[in-house]
Structure 1
Amino acid sequence: MKFRTISLAIATVIISLTSYIHHPVTANEQISQAPNPQAQKITIERLGIGGVKLGISEAQVKKILGKPVKIENSFMAAIGKVRTLKYTGITIDLAEGVKPQQFTVYQIKTNSPKYTTVDKIKVGDKPSQIISTYGKNDILQEGKVSRLNYAIEEPSPAGLNFTIKNGKVAEIFCFYVMN
């Protein structure tokens, strides 16, 4: 259990250092945590931001959010072809599937109150709202920044992370752990 908590702390630091630099969460980073009996079980259906959920297609993203401000294509050794759709206040990262040019969402990040989680948590909310929605969990403190992290392991490892600055949510990050 201690290893899982340490792995989460290490991965959270790695994620925080990347900010908006494109960085997929990989299995080597082991985003998981020791089960907390007070934290509610988060399911994959609850992992999404701004109406965009993990695993949906690029076409579905564009139907929900419209035309992106910017599209970037890249290659990452751990994932393969990656496409990033940038909108004002939200960034969607997609990975190419088995079929060429068929991309699906593997991570979503927002720093805008315009986009909420499935459970209506948004940037600007207080940590108490996160805790009342998702349950009590360990808060990681890094200087003036705090993080609340919630993880799932089934059907695929994934997570929902909240960055807290000045007593309010500053960023929400939702992701699959990529192999």
Structure 2
Amino acid sequence: MNRLNLWHKHILKKDNIYKLQNSSIFQEPFLHKIIVNMNVKNAINDSKQILPAITALELVSYQKPKLYHSKKSIAAFKLRKNMVIGCKTTLQKQNLFALLDLLIVMVLPKMNNFEGFKEAKFKATNNINIGIQDLAVFPQINENSRHFVKKLGCNLTFFVKSKNNFIKNLIMSEYQIPKKVNKK
């Protein structure tokens, strides 16, 4: 059992009951899933270019990624229908908390000039998108950096079971995901 999973079960559930005053414990808002997504531009010209992305995503997420293909042809990009253009993986339950713990403890402090995520990313939909430009900040990738010639990046999407901005901000602050404070 992960540290964040224990934190969620024993502290956050009780804390949310007092803060939100829901009529049922089943109405508790929670982090539903995290999708880790990688697009590979060079995979259009050479299909072998997707292999480092698959390996990196497998090292980061602890599970095998799923390849996704283009839906239609675009002549300007030399893209044909059903070409592999990236990979993604969906993390839930134990893997979600493992990646979130790694992200909070190891990855975010290593990022240069990181002040938190912008307020605009927390609004509009019930998901929060975070882009990581260099996967070398993950310890698994850093240990195996000799195998990765190019700099790889990914997009993390956090799905929250609520459309209320207050609840989304509450969940992200409970898991100690930093938010950038606007200076006025």
Please tell me the TM-score bracket, short chain as reference.
Answer: under 0.3
Q: Structure 2-normalised TM-score?
A: 0.27
Q: Whose helix fraction is larger, Structure 1's or Structure 2's?
A: 2
Q: RCO greater where, 1 or 2, for CA within 8 Å and sep 6 or more? A: 2
Q: Whose strand fraction is larger, Structure 1's or Structure 2's?
A: 1
Q: Structure 1-normalised TM-score?
A: 0.27
Larger Rg: 2
